[in-house]
Amino acid sequence: MPAGRFAPSPSGELHLGNLRTAVLAWLFARHTDRRFLLRIEDLDRVRAGSEAEQIRDLEAIGLDWDEAPVRQSERSELYSAAIQKLRQADLLFECFCTRRDIAEAASAPHAVPGHYPGTCLNLSEAKRASLRRERPAALRLRADVENFTVLDGLHGEYRGEVDDFVIVRNDGVAAYNLAVVIDDAGQGIDQVVRGDDLLSSAPRQAYLASLLGYQVPEYLHVPLALNPEGKRLAKRDGAVTLRQLGVEATRQLVFDSLRLPASLDQALQVFDPRTLPREPWIVRG
């Protein structure tokens, strides 16, 4: 059965914007008769106790999910199998660039901002052997397209650039763009609701999914919560977490921002994606 999901990183408390996105992911899934799943994306920064805090907050505002939460840190075998498949297809290459190397290359004339410049793409074996003695290598995808188009339920067709992005970090851990594709496919997730700051990453992920023979999910990138200065909401912006505001105040703020009744059951009865606000939510402390 198809599914939607919410996939937080356990790096701290969820703020109002995170909770709003979780509510929207739940509503979209239930509205379309999908399962709703919770995935803990813990391959990067993890703060002790955050996972339990986040689950408590999600449950406090009424969210439920149809299977026990899964953790990316427990799925390394699945990532290794996909990496091996890409290796066998000669779609990976070693990259020894530091962040500084890439930043300096990106500032060169005619460089595409934010794109990997191809520095290590065609190194000789002798040069790679020499660099391996200096630092560990990341693995990048050898992309054969420059852009890829995805269909987003809120933004329509979105054509984004695709570069030779990282598949395995230089510490040997699967990169986010690989893990999220493997997890969504493995969990039967065909609807991805998340913040619109991630819209630009969707073409990379959809392209990788197509290389691996997976169905590309339906994307719905929803507006972010911003502070009064128009910047992404953060804990430093004042009382923006459930612990600070309390359950009822949090629920009221989140549902008011969506122009929905402050009850999940009632909200689901009247939920209509066509009437959702398309502008960012400005949270005033």
Number of domains in the chain: 2
Query: Is residue 156 situated within a structural domain?
Result: yes
pTM comes to: 0.93
Same domain, 243 and 161: no
Coil, helix or strand for 247?
helix
Q: Which domain holds residue 267?
A: 3-74+223-282
pLDDT, one tens digit per residue, over 135-147 is: 999 999 999 999 9
At residue 279, the pLDDT reads 94
Residue 116 annotated as lining a ligand binding site = yes
CATH of the domain at 99: 3.90.800.10
Residue 271 annotated as lining a ligand binding site = no
Whether the per-residue pLDDT at 44 is higher than 80: the answer is yes
**189 close to 5: Cβ distance less than 8 angstroms:** yes
Cβ within 8 Å of residue 90, ≥6 positions away: 142
Token duo for residue 71: 């953790």
Residue 9 annotated as lining a ligand binding site = yes
Query: Is residue 218 situated within a structural domain?
Result: no
Residue 231 annotated as lining a ligand binding site = no
pLDDT, one tens digit per residue, over 100-126 is: 888 777 666 556 666 788 899 999 999
Residue 228 annotated as lining a ligand binding site = no
What gap in Å lies between CA 209 and CA 216, rounded to an integer?
A: 6
Residue 176 annotated as lining a ligand binding site = yes
Q: Is residue 205 very low, low, confident or very high in pLDDT (cuts 50, 70, 90)? A: very high
Same domain, 42 and 83: no
Residue 8 annotated as lining a ligand binding site = yes
Query: Is residue 206 situated within a structural domain?
Result: no
Q: Is residue 264 very low, low, confident or very high in pLDDT (cuts 50, 70, 90)? A: very high
Looking at 123, 149, 168, the residue that finishes a domain is: 168
Whether the per-residue pLDDT at 166 is higher than 90: the answer is yes
**192 close to 5: Cβ distance less than 8 angstroms:** yes
Looking at 101, 134, 168, the residue that finishes a domain is: 168
**If 0-12 CB within 10 Å is exposed, 13-18 middle and 19+ buried, where does residue 187 land?**
middle
Residue 194 annotated as lining a ligand binding site = yes
Mean of all residue pLDDT scores within the chain: 93
At residue 285, the pLDDT reads 63
Residue 52 annotated as lining a ligand binding site = no
Residue with tokens 């496919």: 185
Whether the per-residue pLDDT at 79 is higher than 70: the answer is yes
